[in-house]
Amino acid sequence: MKEEIIIAGFGGQGVLSMGKILAYSAIMQDMEVTWMPSYGPEMRGGTANVCVIISDRKIGSPIVTKYDTAIVLNQQSLDKFENAVKPGGLLIYDPSGITREPVRKDIQICRIDAISHAAELGNAKVYNMVVLGAFLKMHPVVEQKNVRKGLEKSIPARYSDLIDLNEKAIAEGMKHVVSVNQI
Amino acid sequence: MAEKVLMKGNEAIAISAIRNGVDGYFGYPITPQSEVMETLMKEKPWETTGMVVLQAESEVSSINMVYGGASCGKKVMTSSSSPGISLMCEGISYMAGAELPCVVVDVMRGGPGLGTIQPSQGDYNQIVKGGGHGDYHNIVIAPASAQDMYDFVDWGFELAFKYRNPVVVLADGVIGQMMEKVEIHPPKPRMTDEEIRTKAPWATVGKPASRERNIITSLSLDSDTQEAFNRKLHAKYSEIQEKEVKFTEYMTEDAEYLFTAFGCSSRICEAAVDMLRAEGIKAGLLRPVTLFPFPYKEISRLASQVKSIMSIELNFGQMVEDVRLGAENKCPVGFYGRQGGNIYTPEEVAEEFRKFNNIK
């Protein structure tokens, strides 16, 4: 099993930490991971992305150009990564971040209205966990109990009271993710 | 069981320094390695192990603080990225001349000049062939994972003290910025004053009546004395070449074609080897782990076995010169490189391999 995922959006949407929590959850499941961020000038201009690879074998190249899953949270990221999804792969997007719908017919496309679900939970910061829930519903690459452990490892001890809220946000994402096409 | 933690290569350097009893870190921030000092500042090791962490006013200061600490037999280190390392090269030359142990981490970015903050392997010649002035060598070790970053701090100090020589951990932006699983081992304490006196009898730690003064210097104005010292250094480098070569091989046993690559490039080549093997092409990979000393003998051995060798580097042809020396004209040696932070994919490497070897 090997899953290559690109997560992309604006700085501040929690793209990097979503990738980190996913990667940590996979470590808790005794899998191999790489987490490779963009750290260049484009990041300083506002967009951020991270490539997470999860595998049950040692990972050779941490650099890939085709992904099993693209999670895109703004228009620039959709433009950049829609065509980088492998045929039969998965694209997840947040409709509030984009101005045009994805057009690929050979991949599974899902939407998650994460902003409003995060707002319902009373904390906009768990936005990224709603999105992570949507992904884990579609591709359950890590078990829920290991996601909990991943959260415990990733969230600094002083915020440990937020672990339950993050877990709840993941559950909301799982509940509300919508598949918009059939392949 | 060792604890498994998700961390960046840069963070692994910092955590490893604290857990392996390093006495001092002196540095100046620069992308893509700033997390080393950030992590140290966050961990506050001065409150636990007593390790000193200090942001100097420049790279020139940091390396000279390292010189001072090393003179006292302390395990001291610094880290930087390419332009900062250039500033340190004078100090590194002085340390090689004064035979002082230290670990310097270079998380390479693109150059020349200020270049780019993206990953590169353009400092191979600078670090492996010298860097500063004078006839000296750094011991150079090249990590390819966050685990290597963690492990190479301790290994680096072991080599540095064994040979009284600067050790450079030659990493790149990919290895520094990427997070991976790292196994953390039980902590080692810092050396006691007694241990320093035993392990580093040359250190300037206060002269007891029982011995002569210890002098730390790289200055020698008498021709014969200087030449004798150069001979001594040369003998040391020969011993290092004899004893410390380290490399890894991937699928070389029955290989008909060989890739050579270090650091992050070796991982991309590993994936390219898998791709070519799936097509029935018997490719293999030799990854030099030590760049000085370089695995010339192993390349010579494999050059007798394979039809060709291709060196894959994030520069426009540096390590390939050493690969050619090793191959001794026994087979053709090719090269492919990228620059500016553009990183080849395994597919691209496989494609360039087919072009070089005329395989359709």
Same domain for B289 and B188: no
Topology (CATH) of A2-179: Pyruvate-ferredoxin Oxidoreductase; domain 3 (3.40.920)
Q: Name which of B32, B179, B264 is nearest A20 (Cβ-Cβ).
A: B179
Q: Which residue in A32, A40, A65 is closest to B181 by CB distance?
A: A32
In this structure, are B252 and B189 located in the same domain?
no
Contacts of A42 in chain B (CB under 8 A): none
The pLDDT of residue A52 is 97
CA-angle at A67, arms to A61 and A71, nearest 5°: 125
Q: Are residues B15 and B103 in the same domain?
A: yes
Chain A hits for B32, CB-CB cut-off 8 Å, are: 39
CA distances from B210 to B194, B196, B213, B257 (A): 15, 17, 10, 61
For chain B, percent of residues with pLDDT exceeding 90:
97
Do both B39 and B146 map to the same domain? yes
pLDDT at A43 > cutoff 60: no
Strands A178-179 vs B3-8: parallel, antiparallel or unpaired = unpaired
What 8-state DSSP symbol labels residue B134? Answer: S
User: Does the residue B239 lie in any domain?
Assistant: no
Per-residue pLDDT averaged across A27-38, rounded?
94
Q: Residue A27: closest CA among chain B residues belongs to which residue? A: B181
Chain B nearest-CA residue for A19? B179
pLDDT at B286: 98
Give yes or no for residue B270 having a pLDDT over 80: yes
Mean pLDDT, chain B, rounded, equals 97
Q: Is A95's Cβ below 8 Å from some Cβ in B?
A: no
pLDDT digits (tens, 9 = 90+) for B31-60: 999 999 999 999 999 999 999 999 999 999
Is the pLDDT reported for residue B325 higher than 70? yes
The b-or-e profile of B240-278 (16+ CB within 10 A means b, else e) is bbeeebebeebbbeebebbbbbbbbbbbbbbbbbbbbee
Read off the pLDDT of residues A56-114 as tens digits, 9 standing for 90 and up.
Answer: 999 988 888 899 999 999 999 999 999 999 999 999 999 998 999 999 999 999 999 99
Residue A44 has a pLDDT of 56
Q: What is the mean pLDDT of chain A?
A: 92
∠ at Cα B234 (B229, B239), nearest 5°?
125
In a domain, B61, yes or no: yes
Task: Tell the residue number behind the tokens 């999105």, with chain if given.
Answer: A131
- Kindly give, in sequence order, each residue whose CB lies less than 8 Å from that of residue A154, ignoring residues fewer than 6 positions away: A17, A20, A21, A24, B6
Extended strands (E) in A56-175: 67-72, 85-93, 108-111
For B103-160, what is each residue's pLDDT tens digit? 999 999 999 999 999 999 999 999 999 899 999 999 999 999 999 999 999 999 999 9
Q: What percent of chain B has pLDDT over 70?
A: 100
Is the residue at B216 inside a domain? no
Q: Where are the beta strands (DSSP E) in A25-124?
A: 32-37, 47-55, 67-72, 85-93, 108-111
- What lies within 8 Å, CB to CB, of B312 at 6+ separation is B259, B260, B261, B265, B268, B269, B272, B335, B336, B337, B344, B349
CB distance A35–B173 less than 8 Å?
Answer: no
To which residue do tokens 């001349």 refer?
Answer: B97
Give the pLDDT of residue B2.
76
| Chain-chain contact of A61 with B345 (C-beta, under 8 angstroms) | yes
Residues of chain A by 3-state class (helix, strand, coil), percent to 5 = 45, 25, 30
Average pLDDT over residues A120-140: 95
> What CA–CA distance (Å, rounded) separates B292 from B210?
38
Please indicate, yes or no, whether residues B172 and B253 belong to a single structural domain of this protein.
no
Looking at chain B, the number of H-run helices and the number of E-run strands are 13, 14
Same domain, B17 and B121: yes
CB-CB contact of A111 with A94 (8 Å)? yes
Question: What value does the mean pLDDT take over residues A52-56?
Answer: 96
In DSSP terms, B108 is beta-bridged to B172
Given a contact cutoff of 8 angstroms between Cβ atoms, the answer to whether B67 and B76 are in contact is no
Strand runs (DSSP E) across B28-165, as ranges?
52-55, 76-80, 102-108, 139-141
Query: Tokens at residue B266, please?
Result: 């070796």
Residue B225 maps to a domain: no
Locate tokens 């320094």: which residue? B17
Residue B228 inside a domain? The answer is no
Q: How many domains does chain B have?
A: 2
User: For residue A182, what pLDDT band results from cuts at 50, 70 and 90?
Assistant: confident
Same domain, B71 and B183: yes
Give yes or no for residue A45 having a pLDDT over 90: no
Which tens digits make up the pLDDT trace of B202-237?
999 999 999 999 999 999 999 999 999 999 999 999
Question: Are residues A27 and B4, on separate chains, in Cβ contact within 8 Å?
Answer: yes
Q: Tell me which chain A residue has its CA closest to the CA of residue B110.
A: A40
* pLDDT recorded at residue A42: 58
Q: B224 lies in a domain?
A: no
The verdict on B109 and B44 lying in the same domain is: yes
Q: What is the pLDDT of residue B327?
A: 98
| pLDDT mean over B269-278 | 96
Question: What CATH code is carried by the domain that includes residue B178?
Answer: 3.40.50.970
CA distance B10 to B150: 9
User: Amino acid letter at A164?
Assistant: D
Rounded to the nearest angstrom, the gap between the alpha carbon of residue A146 and the centroid of all alpha carbons in its chain is 16
CATH of residue B290? 3.40.50.920
In this predicted structure, the answer to whether residue B171 has a pLDDT above a threshold of 70 is yes
Residue where a domain stops, chosen among B167, B194, B221: B194
Pair B176, B315 in one domain: no
At B47, list the tokens: 């409150």
Residue B70, token pair as written in the block? 């090393």
- Per the domain annotation, does B137 fall within a domain? yes
Q: At what angle do helices A163-176 and A127-138 cross, to 10 degrees?
A: 50
The Cα B339–Cα B317 span in angstroms is: 11
Residue B32 preceded by cis peptide, ω within 30: yes
Q: What confidence score (pLDDT) does residue A157 get?
A: 84
User: What are B261's two structure tokens?
Assistant: 């690559």
Q: Which letter does DSSP use for residue B201 in this model?
A: T
Rounded Cα gap, residues A172 and B281, in angstroms: 49
User: What is the residue range of B115's domain?
Assistant: 3-194
Q: In chain A, pLDDT over 70 holds for what percent of residues? A: 96
Q: If you average pLDDT over residues B328-353, what whole number do you get?
A: 96
Res A40 pLDDT > 70: no
Position B1 pLDDT exceeds 90: no
The complex's ipTM works out to 0.91
- Asked if the C-beta of A35 comes within 8 angstroms of chain B's C-beta atoms, the answer is yes
Residues from chain B contacting residue A64 (CB–CB below 8 Å): 345
pLDDT at A102: 95
Alpha-carbon distance of B199 to A47, in angstroms, equals 51
Are B137 and B255 in the same domain?
no
Q: Please give the Cα distance from B336 to B352 (Å, whole number).
A: 7
- Minimal CA–CA distance to A151: which of A31, A68, A54, A27? A27
Q: Which residues of chain B does A36 touch, with a Cβ-Cβ cutoff of 8 Å?
A: 174, 177-179
Are B186 and B322 in the same domain? Answer: no
